[in-house]
Amino acid sequence: MIVDCGVYAEGERRDLPKDPETVARAIDDDHASFGWIGLHDPSDAEMKRVQRLFDLHDLAVEDALQIHQRPKVERFGDMILVVLRTLWYVDEGDAVETGQVTAFIGQRYVVTVRHGEGGELATTRHQLEERASMLGHGPAAVLWAICDAIVDQYETVAEQVEIDVDEIESSVFSPERTSDAERIYGLKREVLEMRRAIDPLREPMEEFAHGVAGLGPKASPFFRDVADHLTRVSEQTESIDVLLQSALNAHLARVSVQQNDDMRKISAWVAIAAVPTMLAGIYGMNFDNMPELRWHFGYYAVLLLMAVVCSTMYAFFRKVGWL
């Protein structure tokens, strides 16, 4: 649906009806203004309606309608297409959910198409409308505000994932037996989803930071700040991935050690049980001519021998740490 439509001139929003046709007419009549149209999960009819008004390229519109696009920046004539992945964290399932924001940046218009529940732009729009000095830079200011808000979301998600990584590290190295492999693997998949959203965006942000035709030279310092934050969260995500791999290796090593301990204990008890089994097996043979078979104290002597040997073996295994 069409979420909001606004026309801005000299850093102020003009009081006009909120529909795409009004925005298109206003920017045609007043060459000092620009328009911003926001759509959320638009239908094909709504997208074609906006496409006709602003002469958007067919391939760009196709990218905007298809979700799970790779983050990218493309130029179609005087228009810049920016595809961004949005991230938000669901703590109950240790899940990083993804969405998409596609921005069409023209000389005097901005069209944003959002998919998914995360990455809402209403707050970004309101904050930008309160900063007339920023809004006066035109569509470049809108693109900067969108990129800045989405990169801030990346940092928030990375911080929440780090909390879960700390919990996993505490669990892996706790004295209790835990099963953390499944959770670690799940988090590694979520971190991979984060890297798919973050890493492809670094190069475009660096280009914006050094100046891109159509955005204006005054926008570069603001995009340098976004690029710096993006680099930081990219390195943070890489560190999280390394920590998770280390935690997984430590968990597997600990499981292997625990299995070896269990095998030593089992082997020790089997060895202890083998002594009375052997003696009982020998004296259970049906032979007449066996040593001490008719001795009055033979039964008690064999029991005593079993007890002494088993006690000695138990003490030895306790000493060497097998029990």
Instruction: Pick the most confident of 115-119, 164-168, 257-261, 295-299.
Output: 164-168
Cα distances from 49 to residues 1, 52, 264, 314, 317, in angstroms, run: 12, 5, 74, 85, 82
Mean pLDDT of 264-289: 78
Mean pLDDT of 137-164: 89
Average pLDDT estimate for 305-309: 84
Tell which residue, 258, 235, 255, has the closest CA to residue 247. 255
Q: What mean pLDDT do residues 85-100 have?
A: 86
Return the minimum-mean-pLDDT range out of 17-21, 123-127, 218-222, 249-253.
Answer: 218-222
- In contact, 188 and 241? CB cutoff 8 Å: yes
Q: How many CB atoms lie within 10 A of CB 31?
A: 10
Domain range summary for the chain, segments of one domain joined by +: 2-254, 259-320
| pLDDT for position 239 | 92
Give mean pLDDT, residues 149-154: 92
Residue 14's pLDDT band (boundaries 50, 70, 90)? confident
The dotted CATH code for 2-254 is: 3.30.460.20
**Percent of the chain beyond pLDDT 70?**
93
So what's the pLDDT on residue 179? 77
DSSP character for 36? E
Residue 158, pLDDT score = 92
Q: What span, in angstroms and rounded, lies between the C-alpha atoms of 114 and 267?
A: 62
What string of DSSP letters covers 252-300?
A: HHHHHHHHHHHHHHHHHHHHHHHHHHHHHHHHTS--SS-TTTT-TTHHH
Q: Does 259-320 match 2-254 at the fold level?
A: no
Mean of pLDDT values over 161-171:
88
Average pLDDT value over all residues in the chain: 84
Q: Are 205 and 230 in contact (CB under 8 A)?
A: yes
pLDDT at 213 over 60: no
Question: How many Å separate Cα 192 from the centre of its chain?
Answer: 6
Give the single-character DSSP code of 84.
Answer: E
Average pLDDT score over residue span 302-320: 83
SS3 letters across 152-179:
HHHHHHHHHHHHHHHHHHHHHCCCCCCC
Q: For residue 281, is pLDDT > 80?
A: no
Per the CB < 8 A criterion, the answer to whether 139 and 34 are in contact is yes
Q: Say which CATH class 259-320 falls into.
A: mainly alpha
104 band by pLDDT with thresholds 50, 70 and 90: very high
What average pLDDT score do residues 124-142 get? 83
Is pLDDT at 292 greater than 70 in this prediction? Answer: no
Q: Is the pLDDT of residue 8 over 70?
A: yes
Q: What mean pLDDT do residues 226-238 have?
A: 91
Highest mean pLDDT among 11-15, 173-177, 239-243 belongs to: 239-243
The answer for residues whose C-beta is within 8 angstroms of residue 191's C-beta and 6 or more apart is 96, 161, 237, 240, 241, 244
The band of 248, judged by pLDDT with boundaries at 50, 70 and 90, is: confident
